[in-house]
């Protein structure tokens, strides 16, 4: 049973991270659209809205399978699992903050520059590296 949950978890994680990496890139482009170019703004906004709707169920699947695996394997008592789950919760917070940013773009209330979004885009990379380290090395 563990291998099925692991397969699903890896699938959901890869798919969710694709969205987490790409959505802020769309935000970079949205932040760079000139004020008079409404068509370009709406096209990018539509892309962002559709991507968010697509990646949300993938994130839910990643989190659910990520919570199930430690119970199936008996790993729940291990410290690295608690840290990895915490990283998953932080990623959920990042996901929901991406939604908040999307709402701001929808209401023309974006207050960040394209440079800010470029830095913001790196947060899931750091979290992914930390989670991979925990899974591979199981340090504690």
pTM: 0.94
- pLDDT category at 103 given cuts 50, 70, 90 is very high
Instruction: Name the residue range of residue 53's domain.
Output: 2-137
Tell whether 9 is in a known binding site.
yes
Tell whether 53 is in a known binding site.
no
Question: pLDDT at position 67, please?
Answer: 94
Residue 108, SS3 per DSSP: coil
pLDDT in tens, 66-102: 999 999 999 999 999 999 999 999 999 999 999 999 9
pLDDT in tens, 48-71: 999 999 999 999 999 999 999 999
The count of structural domains within the chain is: 1
Is residue 60 within 8 Å of residue 66, measured between CB atoms?
A: no
Pairwise CA distance, residues 63 & 29, whole Å: 29
């Amino acid at each position: 049973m563990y291998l099925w949950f692991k397969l699903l978890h890896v699938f959901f994680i890869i798919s969710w991270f694709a969205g987490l990496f790409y959505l802020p890139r769309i935000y970079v482009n949205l932040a760079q659209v000139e004020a008079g170019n409404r068509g370009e703004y709406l096209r990018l906004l539509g892309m962002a809205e559709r991507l968010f709707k697509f990646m949300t169920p993938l994130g839910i699947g990643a989190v659910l399978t990520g919570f199930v695996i430690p119970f199936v394997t008996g790993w729940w008592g291990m410290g690295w699992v608690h840290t990895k789950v915490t990283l998953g919760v932080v990623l959920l917070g990042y996901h929901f903050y991406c939604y908040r940013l999307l709402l701001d773009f929808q209401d023309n209330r974006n207050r960040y520059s394209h440079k800010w979004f470029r830095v913001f885009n790196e947060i899931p990379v750091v979290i992914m590296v930390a989670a991979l380290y925990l899974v591979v090395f199981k340090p504690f």
